[in-house]
Amino acid sequence: MGAILGLFILFSTGCQDVKNDQFGTLVLKLTDAPFPIDTIESAMVTITKVEVRKKSEGEELGYPYITVLEDSREFNLLDLRNGITAELAEIDIEPGNYDLIRLYVDQASISIKQSETYDLKVPSGSQTGIKVFIKPDLHVEGGLTSEVILDFDVEKSFVLQGNMNSPAGIKGFHFKPVIRAVNETTAGSVEGVVVDADDVVMETVSVWIEQDTVITSTLTGAEGYYSMIGIPAGVYSMSAAMEDFDTLTVENIEIVEGNLTVQNFKLSPAELTGGE
């Protein structure tokens, strides 16, 4: 019996060692907080390299970067809205904690409908990379898959110069990338439909979620539908707004990790002020 017990312990320990030695899988996905200008046809970025930083157990080892993508890939960020994502990279990676992503953007451009395309200067993004912190840290376990969503805020990244109300008034754009990295294991999502007082679906309504500051935003599509993914678990307020309608804000909306929250909105016409 002693020999059998010894073999069992040895076998169990060996299995545990194999599990600990297994690599985990890291999946990086790209999405977009859309640009609220209907004259914009495309917002393109070319990503040539992605690195992640692993936290070392010993400070003397430093925080090493691991390359997870080294291939030129082009994306139209306007295609990635209302919950739509594009896979940026998938790679087997050592177990451990990761706290930072470095994104190398080689080119960026924005096109105006029935007008010109602006090629934009990328401020050091192709040489030193754009640093995006993962909050909270991403914990990768052997044999399991972990996902991180990179939410590219187009409105803040492509800074308009000139008059936004007509293509003729646009003087150009500056590219100042604003990206948040979301650990999907600690995040949830929210979706819903926006209608007017007659229950008619409303397109291009601005919807945003905030907790002290705005976390992310989106626009409703043709069916009045919106979706926001990669929202860290917590309690938030949400708002929906459109010109000529009263802004509607809903408080105490709970986002639960791994779950979908549904929040619909019904907007009422704004009351006319005196003299109108």
Per-10-residue mean pLDDT of the chain, 276 residues long, equals 49 45 90 76 93 75 83 92 91 92 93 86 78 89 92 88 69 88 90 96 94 90 92 95 95 94 96 59
SS3 78: helix
How many domains does the chain contain in total? 2
SS3 136: strand
Statement to judge: residues 27 and 144 lie in one domain: yes
Residue where one domain finishes, among candidates 126, 147, 177: 177
Statement to judge: residues 99 and 152 lie in one domain: yes
> Domain for residue 73, yes or no?
yes
> Domain for residue 1, yes or no?
no
Residue where one domain finishes, among candidates 177, 211, 241: 177
Statement to judge: residues 276 and 224 lie in one domain: yes
Query: For position 15, what pLDDT does the model report?
Result: 45
Statement to judge: residues 218 and 246 lie in one domain: yes
Q: What is the distance between the alpha carbons of residues 264 and 240, in angstroms, rounded to a whole number?
A: 10
CB atoms within 10 A of CB 143: 13
Statement to judge: residues 111 and 194 lie in one domain: no
pTM to 2 decimals?
Answer: 0.79
> Domain for residue 13, yes or no?
no
Of 101, 140, 146, 112, the residue nearest 42 (C-alpha): 112
- State phi, psi for 226 to the nearest 5 degrees: -135, 160
Q: What is the distance between the alpha carbons of residues 60 and 57, in angstroms, rounded to a whole number?
A: 9
> Domain for residue 156, yes or no?
yes
> Domain for residue 229, yes or no?
yes
Query: For position 126, what pLDDT does the model report?
Result: 65
Statement to judge: residues 171 and 41 lie in one domain: yes
Statement to judge: residues 161 and 218 lie in one domain: no
> Domain for residue 172, yes or no?
yes
> Domain for residue 6, yes or no?
no
Of 260, 246, 267, 249, the residue nearest 201 (C-alpha): 267
Domain that includes residue 131, residue range: 22-177
Statement to judge: residues 223 and 122 lie in one domain: no
Statement to judge: residues 173 and 193 lie in one domain: no
Statement to judge: residues 253 and 127 lie in one domain: no
